[in-house]
Amino acid sequence: MTVTSSTVPALRRDFSLPEDDEAHLNARGLPWETIVSQGARWLLVHEFPVPNGYNHATVTAAIQITPGYPTAALDMVYVDPPLARTDGRAIGALTGVPVHDKTFQRWSRHRTNENPWRPGIDDLAAHLALVEEWFGREFRWG
């Protein structure tokens, strides 16, 4: 299935997400799509806002949909275009990863033992909230 958006002309739906995840994405009002790239399933959320202090106001945020999700945890976030701090300070634990026809910037950020994935409780909404926290935390850490 292909869906259209004003800024992203052809949004793919190569696979479905759980109903609650799709409802959450639709409620956010951001264009999104699901694709399969090199055997991996990806959610791409376009126009994803990032806090002030970065070189871009929005990015495409990619989440790899782990085999076994929603029981299995979601991990990390990948962004395009790459983010940099406007104050010139480096962001740690970044690398490039090919997703479909682009190289996304992987933010190697993970849940902790104090904040583990809770099957049946955590979902895409919880992971996207964590992504937002990671983007904000970059400035709280220095």
List, for residues 61-120, the tens digit of each pLDDT value. Answer: 999 999 999 999 999 999 999 999 999 999 999 999 999 999 999 999 999 899 999 999
DSSP secondary structure letters along 75-138: --EEEESPP-BTT----SSEEEEEETTEEEEEE-----TTS---TTT--HHHHHHHHHHHHHHH
Q: In 10 A of CB 124, how many CB atoms?
A: 21
Please report where in the chains the tokens 């694709």 appear, as a residue. 35
Cβ atoms 125, 22 nearer than 8 A: no
Tell me the whole-structure pTM to 2 decimals: 0.91
Domain ranges of the chain: 2-140
Q: Give the pair of three-digit tokens for residue 118.
A: 């809770």
